[in-house]
Amino acid sequence: MMALVALVLAGLITAAVPAWAEPLRLVAFGDSLTAGLGLPAGEAFPAKLQAALKAKGHDVLIENAGVSGDTTSAGLSRLDWSVPAGTDGVIVELGANDALRGLDPAITEKALDDMLGRLKGRKIPVLLAGMVAPPNLGPAYGARFNAIYPHLAEKYGVPLYPFFLDGVAGQTGLNQPDGIHPTSAGVDVIVRKMLPAVEAFIGQIRAGKTG
């Protein structure tokens, strides 16, 4: 009799646990800005974002799938194996190297378009982190490049964080000597500014898993 009661109680407890009780598994998919070039692994963007989310009560695991030097086309070529089965959401941060190399924005847009299309096909939610072209490339290039991210976010109905380096780009004290890659303090700024958008993204994923 006691064994039967224990089984019933165990079943009730299991049923009471919501589907989202397990940690959300996110992939931070990007270039050196995600990988944390020049920083210890624990000070890279994915690790610091995970810690900030956990401090806010979110049970989230974030895999660092950043590869230094990646363009959007290079990222597309490794997308399928970099985002494994069971991934609950992806933060896409790519395009900085395209702009630094002055690549045709049409190439960048096509690669990001294909990327978002593949992830949509796999039913994996995306938070798109935008990039802004360096001003030395001129206003015409900047207008074409900067329009890519809001256009694709609207096309695929995904949330957009307009500029990954907001508050950090051009700030000497927040960047390493190369002037491109954030210091640990710079990553802190990125995480702090981006945290509300990521929390909203997590809320959308949770709602989708329980809806």
- pLDDT above 80 (res 9): no
Task: Summarize the chain as % helix, strand, coil (round to 5).
Answer: 55, 15, 30
**b vs e for 137-162, b when ≥16 Cβ sit within 10 Å of the residue's Cβ?**
eeeebbebbbebbeebbeebebebbe
**pLDDT tens per residue, range 18-58:** 444 689 999 999 999 999 999 999 999 999 999 999 999 99
What pTM did the predictor assign? 0.89
Mean pLDDT of 65-77: 98
Per-residue pLDDT, averaged over 10-16, amounts to 44
Which two structure tokens, joined as six digits, stand for 53?
């989310």
Point out which residues pair with 63 in neighbouring strands: 27
Domains of the chain, start order: 22-210 (3.40.50.1110)
Model pLDDT, residue 21? 66
* Under 8 Å between Cβ of 29 and 93: yes
Which residues are known catalytic residues? 32, 178, 181
